Every structure is written in C-alpha cells, then in structure tokens.
C-alpha cells in the first residue's frame, strides 16, 4: 500500500518538467528491459517463426521506444513487429503483450483471452504480478524494478531462465 502511495505521489509531481524527462527515461528502460526479457524466455517452436510480435494494449510512449528497438534488433532470427491495440480480444497471435497503465483495468480480460497461450504478459500496475501478469514493472523508492512470477510464466507455456528470475522480485 505504501509503495502504491509512493508511486502515486511521484506520478503526481508533474509540475516538474524534469519529471517528464525522468518518465521518458523510464519508458526507454522499460522497453530495453522487455527486449532483454525475450532473451531469457523460451517460446514454443511454432512461435519461433515469422515476426516476433510485441503487442501494446493502450497508448504509451513506450511504443516509440519499442519501435526504435525493432529497427535494429531481432529476437533470435525473428524480426520484431510492434502491434498497437486497444482491445485484448482483437490482438490475435503475439509473443509479448504489454498492458499500459491506462489499460491495466482490463488485465482480467487479458489473462482470460491469453490463458495458457505462450504470451509473456507484462504489466505496469501495482499488484499486476499477483493478478495474472508474468512480469510487472514497479518502482521501489523511485528506482525502476520488475516483479516476476515464474509460476504464471510456466502456466503460459513459456520457460524462463533462472538468471532472469534472479534479477526480478519473485512473486508466487
């Protein structure tokens, strides 16, 4: 609860334009984190062909950051494709789904639509990892961290390395 308050207070200090810069940096780091998550998560063989689709549910500056990565990087041999979506049901096949804070209220629908599908669900919501997200971004004392739920990842039919698990805050 205290953490939640802290995030809310920090988010409220929008007066400071430097905070805008901080937030832009946050989005850059989150995008880089997500790109790195793909190195330590294994998708089933039939997901290792074609484009590697990163879907973003909702609008967020992170889309631009992900598109920047997609211009120069691949996941394995798969080109990265960024898919912008507003409705979970309309997303279709994807590898990683990022639920923006503005759409986090739809997390239950997301987990329902993508239940047991090999999709790494990433959220940016207090308590997201306990509500069905595989990985959830959190701020701890202002520092960008992530929670990780190995059991949820496994239930999605994905494999995660112990290296990635060790870097996150494990949530069961």
Residues at the contact surface with other proteins, assessed by CB under 8 A: 6, 9-10, 12-19, 22, 25, 28-29, 32-33, 35-37, 39-40, 61, 68-69, 72-73, 139, 141-145, 164, 167
User: Is 45 or 71 the residue whose CB approaches other proteins more closely?
Assistant: 71
User: Is 116 or 143 the residue whose CB approaches other proteins more closely?
Assistant: 143
User: Which two structure tokens, joined as six digits, stand for 1?
Assistant: 């609860």
Classify residue 2 by its DSSP letter: H
Classify residue 1 by its DSSP letter: -
Please state the closest distance from residue 116 (CB atom) to other proteins, in A. Answer: 26
User: Which two structure tokens, joined as six digits, stand for 42?
Assistant: 């294994």
User: Which two structure tokens, joined as six digits, stand for 133?
Assistant: 């997200």
Please state the closest distance from residue 132 (CB atom) to other proteins, in A. Answer: 23
Measured between alpha carbons, how far is residue 45 from residues 42, 94, 123 in Å? 9, 14, 25
User: Is 93 or 139 the residue whose CB approaches other proteins more closely?
Assistant: 139
Please state the closest distance from residue 32 (CB atom) to other proteins, in A. Answer: 6
Please state the closest distance from residue 89 (CB atom) to other proteins, in A. Answer: 27
User: Is 30 or 114 the residue whose CB approaches other proteins more closely?
Assistant: 30
Contacts 24+ apart (CB under 8 A), 124-128: 124/30, 124/98, 124/99, 124/100, 125/99, 125/101, 126/3, 126/4, 126/7, 128/99, 128/104
User: Is 22 or 131 the residue whose CB approaches other proteins more closely?
Assistant: 22
Please state the closest distance from residue 92 (CB atom) to other proteins, in A. Answer: 27
Round to whole Å and give the CA distance between 172 and 169: 10
């Amino acid at each position: 609860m205290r953490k939640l308050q802290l995030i809310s207070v920090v988010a409220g200090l929008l007066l400071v334009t430097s905070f805008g810069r901080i937030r832009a940096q946050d989005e850059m780091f989150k995008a880089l984190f997500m790109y790195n998550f793909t190195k330590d998560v294994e998708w089933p063989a039939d997901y290792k062909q074609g484009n590697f689709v990163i879907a973003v549910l909702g609008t967020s500056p992170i889309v631009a950051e992900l598109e920047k990565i997609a211009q120069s990087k691949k996941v394995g041999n798969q080109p990265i494709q960024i898919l912008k979506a507003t409705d979970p049901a309309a997303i279709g096949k994807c590898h990683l789904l990022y639920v923006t804070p503005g759409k986090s209220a739809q997390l239950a629908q997301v987990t329902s639509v993508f239940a047991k599908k090999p999709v790494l669900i990433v959220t940016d919501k207090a308590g997201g990892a306990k509500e069905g997200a595989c990985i959830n971004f959190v701020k701890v004392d202002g520092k960008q961290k992530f929670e990780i739920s190995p059991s949820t990842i496994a239930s999605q039919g994905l494999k995660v390395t112990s290296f990635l698990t060790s870097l996150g805050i494990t949530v069961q």
